[in-house]
């Protein structure tokens, strides 16, 4: 069952989540779209070598598969200042009608870098 991509981002934003959302791209098996959240705000966005605004411009060109959210994972880099505020980003994505497939959630163990799967 597909879900509006914007609805997933909205839920992460409203729940003030910190973590990483990795989304597969139907047209490519080489890269994932990666969103890094801090307290519900999108702090970093990448797709392969593309970052920030460059990545945002390409989101409209692709279809998306499944996604996994790593709850508690922190961004390995600082925030990207080129990304617009999260509510505006979500609003723009909502206009595209883009969807994602199944969403899985994994918890990141605080003392180890291991992942603990949980039911979505």
For range 35-61, the mean pLDDT: 88
What pLDDT is attached to residue 78? 76
Looking at every residue in the chain, the average pLDDT score rounds to: 85
DSSP string covering the chain: --EEHHHHHHHHHHTT--EEEEEEETTEEEEEEEEEEETTEEEEEEETTEEHHHHHHHHTT--EEEEEEEETPPPSS---TTSPPHHHHHHHHHHHT-EE--EEEEEEPSSSS-EEEE--
Query: Is the predicted pLDDT of residue 119 greater than 50, yes or no?
Result: no
Residue 55: predicted pLDDT: 82
The mean pLDDT of 76-81, rounded to a whole number, is: 77
pLDDT in tens, 60-74: 888 999 999 999 998
Decide if pLDDT at 88 tops 60: yes
């Amino acid at each position: 069952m597909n879900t509006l991509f914007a609805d997933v981002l909205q839920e992460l934003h409203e729940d003030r989540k910190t973590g990483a959302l990795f989304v597969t791209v139907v047209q490519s098996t080489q890269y994932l779209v990666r969103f890094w959240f801090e307290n519900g705000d999108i702090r970093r966005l990448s797709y392969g070598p593309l970052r920030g605004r460059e990545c945002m411009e390409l989101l409209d060109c692709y279809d998306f598969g499944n996604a996994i959210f790593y709850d508690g994972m922190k961004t390995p880099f600082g925030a990207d200042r080129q990304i617009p505020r999260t509510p505006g980003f979500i609003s723009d994505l909502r206009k595209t009608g883009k969807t994602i497939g199944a969403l899985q959630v994994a918890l990141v163990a605080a003392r180890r870098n291991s992942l603990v799967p949980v039911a979505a």
